[in-house]
Amino acid sequence: MNFQFMNPDELKAKIEAGEEIVVVDIRDPGSFAAGSIKGSLLLSNDNVQLFIEQTDKSRPVIVCCYHGNSSQSAAQFLAEQGFNDTYSLQGGYELWKTVCPEYCH
């Protein structure tokens, strides 16, 4: 199973439609605390196993990093763990905060 790409406009549409999605942020805790996508979860080596065990694998999972590079390998890893609908957010948080600032905190 492989991941797919999602651009900020597509993610915004899913959020606005109230779709049951999971957004995970793999940036460092300081960057996450300074600003993140509303409703996103910080995912790290410390909690990834718990996330895999406790998250519904049928729900779409969108992985966010700084610029959309690291999220690709994380999304692929999650797809290999059985998540059926996994995405890497194109442009990462840097693009997200310019395109969709109303969904940042």
Question: Would you call 65 a catalytic residue per the annotation?
Answer: yes
Q: What is the pLDDT of residues 49-101, one digit of tens each?
A: 999 999 999 999 999 999 999 999 999 999 999 999 999 999 999 999 999 99
DSSP, collapsed to helix, strand or coil, labels residue 23 as: strand
Q: Note the pTM of the prediction, 2 decimals.
A: 0.95
Please give the CATH superfamily to which domain 4-103 belongs: Rhodanese-like domain (3.40.250.10)
Separation CA 41–CA 43 (nearest Å): 6
DSSP, collapsed to helix, strand or coil, labels residue 37 as: strand
DSSP-assigned beta bridge partners for residue 104: 37
Of the residues 64, 65, 100, 104, only one is catalytic, namely 65
